[in-house]
Amino acid sequence: ILRYRYNNLPMDRPGRYLYIRDNQTSEFWSPTWQPVAKKLDNYECRHGLGYTKISSSYKGVDAEILYFVPLEDDLEIWSLTLQNNSSEKKELGIFSYAEFCLWNAISDQRDLQYIQNVAVAKYDQIENAIFYHLFDLSSYIAFFSSNSKVTGYDCDRESFIGHYRSEANPLSVENGKCSNSQALGGNPIAATCNELIINPHETKKIIFTLGVVKEKSHAKRMISKYEKFENVEIEFLELKEKWNKFLEKYFVDTPDKDFNCNINIWNPYQCKTTFDWARYVSFYETGISRGIGFRDSNQDTLSVCHTLPNLVRKRLLELAKNQFENGKVYHIYFPLTGEGDYPNYVNPRMKFFSDDHLWMIFAVSNYLRETGDMSILEQDVDYVEGSKETLYDHLKRAIEFTNYHMGPHGFPLIGTADWNDTLQLHGPNNNGESVMVAMQFHKALSDMSEIAKEFNIKNDFAKYNNLAKKVNDHINKHAW
């Protein structure tokens, strides 16, 4: 919904911004520190499970902003609480700011000029909300609303910020009023102004909502729902309850409180986040240009089998569809379409990564140990070419592929690379080997022999046991 600039360092802009203006002195600041960056009297940023809460104080005004996404609706909530801790009445202007994007991250970077021609952002007086869409019949509509009647608004970025300025000193905030601009082209934003009078030691609240819908009527329903403080409170309690139930599945108690906090809360929280979003929050994987790593996604299942077994089962079967009949797999895949691909640096003569397909064995083996669900092995799964076999057969083909691509020392050929994607030492004759993958292959063979034993397939059990011993001998002979 909102714009993200991939080269935004060191400014980290734009963002979800609020400004507080003392209309008696014309001084303004941001309760989140950014983007005004004025020194605050107190500041605290607290990241919780599914929410962020920022608290600050400046010249007698205490502010707290709670950001979270409800479980069922496609919007985020900014819940602002203000308290006047001074002995004087405060007349405040509350300005919001959010910069819309072109809906698609790549297009927003590559075709920025396009949004200048097709953006439409207008204030709807009846709904007390700003609506944004593209007038080329885009299927999405963004909205930004407040449960307090606005005294002004801006939908055009340049009108709000002004020329030769930035988000740190917007012209509208400096003047104490918005210009009520519409965006018919240009750079669309949602900026609103609410005016509050807060008596000494009085507290007032405002709720802002930012969401996306396909039909405007759906936005009206959500705006109506979340303008009520009690509904926001209920949604926040349900969000916390969801995470509490998730964390109840695993609990450790040791004398070290910090260790307990990490193992019981933040580690499972981070593992689930990684399972849901892969590497898309890192600087390397920015969510554009390429798919999710096949090996990465298999690795992500290892840490959540005990908390999300049903979702792991589904993920393992989805991943297996990216395997070819010869046993190799795509290096990356796109979860929304299920399609796979290779990165542009893949070696055209060795079009595989030597470890990717083996991670599927590790992930399935881990799932079996955790759940005891042997039925997954009998599930039919497509290959890339369209044929279909059981998941167990897929695992067998992964073993066969590595065993067929062995180098002169009895180690797996490195292919394009092994786990270290930049270690592309396949050599001029493409006979480069990987000691690491040799050890992984030994582990995969050991896992497969256990699975075959549990499945009562005696021939496979003996085959994988013997092959594991052979690989073990090669490692001890050549790798030390």
Residues known to be catalytic: 421
3-state SS, the chain, equals CECCCCCCCCCCCCCCEEEEEECCCCEEECCCCCCCCCCCCEEEEEECCCEEEEEEEECCEEEEEEEECCCCCCEEEEEEEEEECCCCCEEEEEEEEEEECCCCHHHHHHCHHHHHHHEEEEEECCCCEEEEEECCCCCCEEEEEECCCCCEEEEEHHHHHCCCCCCCCCHHHHHCCCCCECEECCCEEEEEEEEEEECCCCEEEEEEEEEEECCHHHHHHHHHHHCCHHHHHHHHHHHHHHHHHHHCCCCCCCCCHHHHHHHHHHHHHHHHHHHHHCCCCCCCCCCCCCCEEHHHHHHHHHCCCCCCHHHHHHHHHHHHCCECCCCCECCEEECCCCEEECCCCCCCCCCCECCHHHHHHHHHHHHHHHHCCHHHHHCEEECCCCCEEEHHHHHHHHHHHHHHCECCCCCEECECCCCCCCCCCCCCCCCCECHHHHHHHHHHHHHHHHHHHHCCCHHHHHHHHHHHHHHHHHHHHHCC
| C-beta separation of 93 from 154 below 8 A | no
Token pair of 441, please?
């292959």
Q: Strand order in 42-47's β-sheet?
A: 42-47, 51-58, 61-68, 75-84, 203-213, 141-146, 129-134, 119-124, 183-184
Q: For residue 437, how many other CB atoms are within 10 A of its CB?
A: 25
- The C-alpha angle 448, 454, 457, rounded to 5 degrees, equals 75
Q: Cα separation of 445 and 191, whole Å? A: 60
Which amino acid is located at 61 in the chain?
V
Token pair of 5, please?
């600039």
